[in-house]
């Protein structure tokens, strides 16, 4: 039951049933969360969503994590009790035979029922919420979703190293692309082989998003015209996908010479995500605008990294990138084109792909320990897309890149 | 914009941006849904969840599908308007500039606001629901989630053929396993290569589940002891996964001679899923109980297929299978072991993996057109799991298998 060694070399994990999240992490996260509960004037919170549960307890076993504003938290475990005991460092774990028993068990283990209780109302389905209302009829319920999302935006040093380890898988897969990518193969065949490499390096497959209807499968490997296809998600690129049923990502389009190959890849290791984009082309671009746009994307990234540091608003960072695109006369192609243009240049990453900070015109201030992906990209409809994306952590005096790979376009 | 050819041969789809779901299907589904609205006494429904939206409109572009109890439905499309017009056969499509505009647009296009309106309260997050409450303050809201799930349980002939086409991908991947599976490779390396084959055949990657916190990545390729590891999901097998962060599926465990290799695979093509399990072993089982248990699983399946037909309850089907396991003295190992034993032997499949009918002790009556996976499996803790799974459609006089592959254990 010792905490696992979890270094930054991809592909050497063993013993998935051991504990992953150290006890000290869980303890510190719950303590920070209790400060939030106090600020919100809540007596307790009941946490149930997988990403939040993993964050605060170290397990996704079917549980209700009860966090009182003061004192020890209790993990009420429905399934699997034995596994939760191994996976979570929380000392207080109580089997939950059925949801009906929840009120009684809270009373028994916490000396009474809370008057005010926080739930993740941003993700909790209405019917489940109503079930809690009927189980705890005296309680007043409040939304702790946004506060928990805000809390999770600032990563501990341990978490930053987990994102770095995840990023290392993206970089290693990127290094293997020249051995895979061939003219004439379909996007989805290319994607499948890339995904197999990722799996062999420990990619968990599952990519969590918090947004309702949010779906992501490894990222978006898009070539030529596919890069110009937008879809339902709030992303600069989407791709047509294999059918309208999923409507994003790789398609059956064959990969051709001279067109931009967008390698937008989301690694996911031990729960933690990063986001990473590099460009490939077979034989050099047929259209010279792509080289110019890529140079501009890198300048936008440079400008963002010059500006980004603790105390700076997301708005300032966003505007710095937009100014670079506008100065180059490429503003109409920046982060999408026409009605599909999006108003952000990056997003937080961690246990979910759509975390804070969002690098858009908003007033959230960057803090040390925040981790975000910055993805200046240009879209030329009917032609393709091009851009770069790295994942960064905010340090005391600036930002540090976690996705350490060469940034030049790879010509095959 | 013609409806695509979509036969049962895997791997020959093209042109993902074309329409997939025929106009006649969408029309018939909405007409059936309107009957449900009438029975529930509702004036209208507002459908927003991806699977339901795809079912009723043919697109997952960010939309609100407004279905009045009588008359034509309107798809209010936020993003991407152009794509929804291609993907959905619905004639009435209206751009939705922002959620705030919804009430006014409903009034404008439907001659007024509904007094009672159905929402998918089983999946809709509380905060989104509250937004609708504030946007339509005069309306009384009702839950149409369960009714829509019930409606979707009975597939049209078109849908049955989509499940069949999806099943064909699982069968083709199964045929390729002997070329992939090797002693000493890790489960996840094996899984990655299997997944790459599936992708090249048109697997969409994304597997939708309706349950809160429901997550599934291609199924569960589990070997030896991994087959005996349960987890948070309501499934007979789960596997340890790569870490507690996901806690299910393939792990870093190397595959050994003599142990059962459970090939439990979920194909997903054009939105439609199936579920399929076959067994492999390198060099024959080290423990003779596996051969006996597999023979019993097949007998249980035979018995289920003898019993299952329109008019029969799920309970009868479930009990028929349990009786076979009990008679063989294997009841304690059937569908899990100890506290991890589950009380079902199968589940509906379609656009989501957790559909109706659930083959458990419940009184839902089978109907022609229902599609379900039946998965009699045995778990021997510390040793492994074994079983079989096919996807079936209920016909007028019995059931028809959609996953047509040999059922013998494949010895490598």
B270 touches chain A (CB under 8 A): yes
- Give which of A403, A159, A82 is closest to A264, Cα–Cα: A403
Judged by CB atoms closer than 8 Å, whether chains meet at A245 and B271 is answered as: yes
State which residue of chain A sits closest to B340, comparing Cα positions.
A80
- Chain B CB contacts of A215 under 8 Å are 50, 206
Per-window interface: A 99-138 vs B, CB < 8 A: 119, 121-130
Class of residue A121 by CB neighbours under 10 A (exposed 0-12, middle 13-18, buried 19+): buried
Contact A255, A384 (CB under 8 A): no
Given a cut of 70, is residue B15 above it in pLDDT? no
Query: What per-residue confidence (pLDDT) applies to B166?
Result: 98
Q: What is the largest CA-CA distance in chain A?
A: 71
Q: Over pLDDT 70: what percentage of chain B?
A: 96
First to last CA, chain A: 47
How many A-B residue pairs are in contact by the CB < 8 A criterion? 250
Per-window interface: A 353-412 vs B, CB < 8 A: none
Query: What per-residue confidence (pLDDT) applies to B16?
Result: 59
Query: What per-residue confidence (pLDDT) applies to B11?
Result: 42
Q: A320-334: per-residue pLDDT in tens? A: 999 999 999 999 999
Q: For testing the chain B interface, which of A6, A13, A77, A125 should be mutated: the one with the most B CBs within 10 Å?
A: A125
Q: B299-357: per-residue pLDDT in tens? A: 999 999 999 999 999 999 999 999 999 999 999 999 999 999 999 999 999 999 999 99
Instruction: Give the global pTM.
Output: 0.96
Distance CA A206, CA A398 (A): 31
- Chain A CB contacts of B62 under 8 Å are 213, 232
A62 touches chain B (CB under 8 A): yes
Judged by CB atoms closer than 8 Å, whether chains meet at A247 and B206 is answered as: no
Query: Could you tell me if residue B102 is left (phi over 0), alpha (psi between -120 and 50 degrees) or otherwise beta?
Result: alpha
Strands B62-68 and B74-79: antiparallel
Note if the bond before B85 is cis, omega within 30 degrees.
Answer: no
- Give which of B216, B221, B296 is closest to B261, Cα–Cα: B221
Contact A293, A378 (CB under 8 A): yes
Closest CB from B87, B121, B199 relative to A195: B199
Contact B229, B195 (CB under 8 A): no
Distance CA A10, CA A269 (A): 9
Determine the angle formed by the axes of helices B126-135 and A126-135, rounding to 10 degrees: 100
Q: What is the pLDDT along chain A (412 residues), one digit of tens a residue?
A: 333 333 334 444 445 568 999 999 999 999 999 999 999 999 999 999 999 999 999 999 999 999 999 999 999 999 999 999 999 999 999 999 999 999 999 999 999 999 999 999 999 999 999 999 999 999 999 999 999 999 999 999 999 999 999 999 999 999 999 999 999 999 999 999 999 999 999 999 999 999 999 999 999 999 999 999 999 999 999 999 999 999 999 999 999 999 999 999 999 999 999 999 999 999 999 999 999 999 999 999 999 999 999 999 999 999 999 999 999 999 999 999 999 999 999 999 999 999 999 999 999 999 999 999 999 999 999 999 999 999 999 999 999 999 999 999 999 9
Q: B154-180: per-residue pLDDT in tens? A: 999 999 999 999 999 999 999 999 999
State which residue of chain A sits closest to B205, comparing Cα positions.
A217
Query: What per-residue confidence (pLDDT) applies to A18?
Result: 83
Contact A374, A275 (CB under 8 A): no
Count of C-beta atoms within a 10 Å radius of residue B101: 16
Given a cut of 90, is residue B12 above it in pLDDT? no
From the CA of B351, how many Å to the nearest CA of chain A? 9
Judged by CB atoms closer than 8 Å, whether chains meet at A125 and B127 is answered as: no
From the CA of A397, how many Å to the nearest CA of chain B? 32
- Chain A CB contacts of B252 under 8 Å are 13-16, 202
Distances in Å between the Cα of B175 and the Cα atoms of A121, B180, B404 are 45, 10, 11
Joined tokens for residue A270: 């031990």
A190 touches chain B (CB under 8 A): no
Q: What angle do CA A307, A274, A410 make, to 5 degrees?
A: 85
Distance CA A123, CA A130 (A): 14
Closest CB from A20, A192, A217 relative to B200: A192
From the CA of A7, how many Å to the nearest CA of chain B? 14
Distance CA A11, CA A159 (A): 18
Judged by CB atoms closer than 8 Å, whether chains meet at B199 and A213 is answered as: no
Distance CA B10, CA B169 (A): 6
Judged by CB atoms closer than 8 Å, whether chains meet at B60 and A245 is answered as: yes
Judged by CB atoms closer than 8 Å, whether chains meet at B240 and A128 is answered as: no
Query: What per-residue confidence (pLDDT) applies to B323?
Result: 98
Closest CB from B83, B195, B212 relative to A231: B83
H or E stretch at B391 = strand B390-395
Per-window interface: B 230-259 vs A, CB < 8 A: 230-232, 234, 240-247, 249-252
- Give which of B242, B255, B184, B240 is closest to A267, Cα–Cα: B242
Query: What per-residue confidence (pLDDT) applies to B18?
Result: 83
Judged by CB atoms closer than 8 Å, whether chains meet at B240 and A143 is answered as: no
Distance CA A228, CA B31 (A): 36
Distance CA B412, CA B183 (A): 10
- Chain A CB contacts of B119 under 8 Å are 126
- Chain A CB contacts of B193 under 8 Å are 196
Tell me the three-class secondary structure of chain A, residue by residue.
CCCCCCCCCCCCCCCCCCCCCCHHHHHHHHHHHHHHHHHHCCCEEEECCHHHHHHHHCCCCEEEEEEECCCCCEEEEEECHHHHHHHCCCCCEEECCCHHHHHHHHHHHHCCCCCEEEECCCCCEHHHHHHHHHHCCCCEEEECHHHHHHHHHECCHHHHHHHHHHHHHHHHHHHHHHHCCCCCCEHHHHHHHHHHHHHHCCCCCCCCCCCCCCCCCCEEEEEHHHHHCCCCCCCCCCCCCCCCCCCCCCCCCECCCCCCEEEEECCEECCEECCEEEEEECCCCCCCHHHHHHHHHHHHHHHHHHHCCCCCEHHHHHHHHHHHHHHCCCHHHECCCHHHCCCCCEEECCCCCCECCCCCCCCCECCCCEEEEECCEEEECCCEEEECEEEEEEECCEEEECCCCCCCCEEC
B21 touches chain A (CB under 8 A): yes
Tokens 């994607």 belong to residue: A191
Please give the torsion angle defined by the CA atoms of residues B51, B52, B58 and B60, in that order, rounded to the nearest 10 degrees: -60
Judged by CB atoms closer than 8 Å, whether chains meet at A200 and B189 is answered as: yes
| For residues B378-402, average pLDDT | 97
- The DSSP bridge partners found for residue B410 are B280
Judged by CB atoms closer than 8 Å, whether chains meet at B49 and A191 is answered as: no
- Chain A CB contacts of B196 under 8 Å are 192-193, 195-196
Closest CB from A124, A191, A240 relative to B126: A124
From the CA of B245, how many Å to the nearest CA of chain A? 5
Contact B23, B39 (CB under 8 A): no
Strands B93-95 and B74-79: parallel
B3 touches chain A (CB under 8 A): no
State which residue of chain A sits closest to B218, comparing Cα positions.
A205
Q: For testing the chain B interface, which of A76, A145, A199, A343 should be mutated: the one with the most B CBs within 10 Å?
A: A199
Judged by CB atoms closer than 8 Å, whether chains meet at A17 and B240 is answered as: yes
Closest CB from B229, B246, B339 relative to A206: B246
Given a cut of 50, is residue B4 above it in pLDDT? no
Judged by CB atoms closer than 8 Å, whether chains meet at A232 and B49 is answered as: no
B80 touches chain A (CB under 8 A): yes
Count of C-beta atoms within a 10 Å radius of residue B158: 13
Per-window interface: A 40-59 vs B, CB < 8 A: 48-50, 54, 58-59
A35 alpha-carbon distance from chain centroid: 24
Q: Is B77 helix (H, G, I), strand (E, B) or coil?
A: strand
DSSP B3: P
Q: Is B313 helix (H, G, I), strand (E, B) or coil?
A: strand
- Chain A CB contacts of B123 under 8 Å are 125
State which residue of chain B sits closest to A352, comparing Cα positions.
B245
Distance CA A121, CA B221 (A): 35
From the CA of A365, how many Å to the nearest CA of chain B? 25
B87 touches chain A (CB under 8 A): yes
Tell me the three-class secondary structure of B41-61, residue by residue.
CCCEEEECCHHHHHHHHCCCC
Q: B248-282: per-residue pLDDT in tens? A: 999 999 999 999 999 999 999 999 999 999 999 99
């Amino acid at each position: 039951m010792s905490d696992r060694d979890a270094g930054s070399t991809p592909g050497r994990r063993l013993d998935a049933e051991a504990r992953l999240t150290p006890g000290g992490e869980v303890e510190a996260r719950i303590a920070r969360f209790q400060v939030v509960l106090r600020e919100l004037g809540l007596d307790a919170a009941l946490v149930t969503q997988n990403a939040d549960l993993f964050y605060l307890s170290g397990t996704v076993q079917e549980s209700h994590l009860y966090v009182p504003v003061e004192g020890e938290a209790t993990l009420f475990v429905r399934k699997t009790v034995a596994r939760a005991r191994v996976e979570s460092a929380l000392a207080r774990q109580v089997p939950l035979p059925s949801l009906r028993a929840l009120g009684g068990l809270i009373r028994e283990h916490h000396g009474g029922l809370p008057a005010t209780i926080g739930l993740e109302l941003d993700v909790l389905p209405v019917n489940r919420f109503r079930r809690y209302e009927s189980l705890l009829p005296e309680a007043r319920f409040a939304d702790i979703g946004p506060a928990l999302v805000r809390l999770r935006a600032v990563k501990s040093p341990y978490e930053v190293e987990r994102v770095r380890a995840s990023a290392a898988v993206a970089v290693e897969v990127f290094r293997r692309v020249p051995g895979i990518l061939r003219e004439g193969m379909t996007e989805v065949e290319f994607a499948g082989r890339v995904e197999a490499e990722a799996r062999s390096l420990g990619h968990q497959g599952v990519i969590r998003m918090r947004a309702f209807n949010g779906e992501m499968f490894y990222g978006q490997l898009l070539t030529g015209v596919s890069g110009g296809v937008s879809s339902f998600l709030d992303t600069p690129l989407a791709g047509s996908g294999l059918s309208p049923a999923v409507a994003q990502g790789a398609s059956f389009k064959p990969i051709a010479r001279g067109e931009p190959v967008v390698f937008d890849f989301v690694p996911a290791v031990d729960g933690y995500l990063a986001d990473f984009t590099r460009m490939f082309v077979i034989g050099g671009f047929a259209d010279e605008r792509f080289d110019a746009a890529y140079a501009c994307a890198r300048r936008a990234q440079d400008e963002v990294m010059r500006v980004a540091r603790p105390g700076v608003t997301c708005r300032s960072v966003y505007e710095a990138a937009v100014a670079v695109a506008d100065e180059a006369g490429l503003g109409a192609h920046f982060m999408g084109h026409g009605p599909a243009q999006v108003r952000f240049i990056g997003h937080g990453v961690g246990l979910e792909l759509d975390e804070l900070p969002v690098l858009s015109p908003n007033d959230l201030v960057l803090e040390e320990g925040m981790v975000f992906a910055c993805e200046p990209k240009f879209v030329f409809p009917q032609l393709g897309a091009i851009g770069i994306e790295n994942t960064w952590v905010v340090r005391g005096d600036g930002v540090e890149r976690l996705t350490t790979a060469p940034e030049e376009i790879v010509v095959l």
